[in-house]
């Protein structure tokens, strides 16, 4: 069964850091581009970041560039998102999502249930 399971969400103060994880199973993790996507309360989906299958290429939304770092460990089938200098507007449910074809396609075919990050004073 193809599955993604996020963890690490918490309540943190502005300016602090947090690290999210996503555990993958049921597919060849090292062959696929993987994304982070978030949904703020009452808002729509927002793409956050993507990492290439080998971890060598990383791209970010302008809203998180310079503060968030995406990475992966193919030996452990795990994706991570290091979030530094958190802002109130980073409050959201964070999903990891698998690229459909493996190579930067427009489609995410497998998603996790998400992990909640709340940034509050």
Whole-number minimum distance, CB 118 to another protein, in Å? 17
Name the residue nearer to another protein (CB basis): 53 or 108. Answer: 108
Determine the Cα–Cα distance for residues 91 and 115; give it in Å rounded to an integer.
Answer: 11
Measure Cα distances from 7 to 54, 101, 106 in Å. Answer: 22, 25, 25
Name the residue nearer to another protein (CB basis): 32 or 108. Answer: 108
Whole-number minimum distance, CB 80 to another protein, in Å? 18
Determine the Cα–Cα distance for residues 90 and 17; give it in Å rounded to an integer.
Answer: 11
Name the residue nearer to another protein (CB basis): 42 or 121. Answer: 42
Contact set with another protein (CB under 8 A): 4, 35, 37, 39, 43-47, 50, 59, 61, 95, 97, 100, 104-114
Whole-number minimum distance, CB 13 to another protein, in Å? 27
Residues whose CB is less than 8 angstroms from the CB of residue 17 and which lie 6 or more positions away in sequence, other chains included: 82, 83, 84, 85, 86
């Amino acid at each position: 069964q193809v599955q993604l399971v996020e963890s690490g969400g918490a309540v943190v103060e502005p300016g602090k850091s947090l690290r999210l994880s996503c555990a993958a199973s049921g597919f060849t993790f090292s062959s696929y581009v993987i994304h982070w996507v978030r949904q703020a309360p009452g808002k729509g989906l927002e793409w956050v970041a993507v990492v290439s299958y080998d971890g060598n290429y990383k791209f970010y939304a302008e809203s998180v560039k310079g503060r968030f770092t995406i990475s992966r460990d193919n030996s452990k089938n795990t994706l991570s998102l290091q979030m530094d200098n958190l802002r109130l507007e980073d409050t959201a449910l964070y999903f990891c999502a698998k690229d459909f074809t493996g190579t930067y396609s427009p489609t995410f075919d497998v998603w996790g249930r998400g992990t909640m990050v709340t940034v509050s004073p």
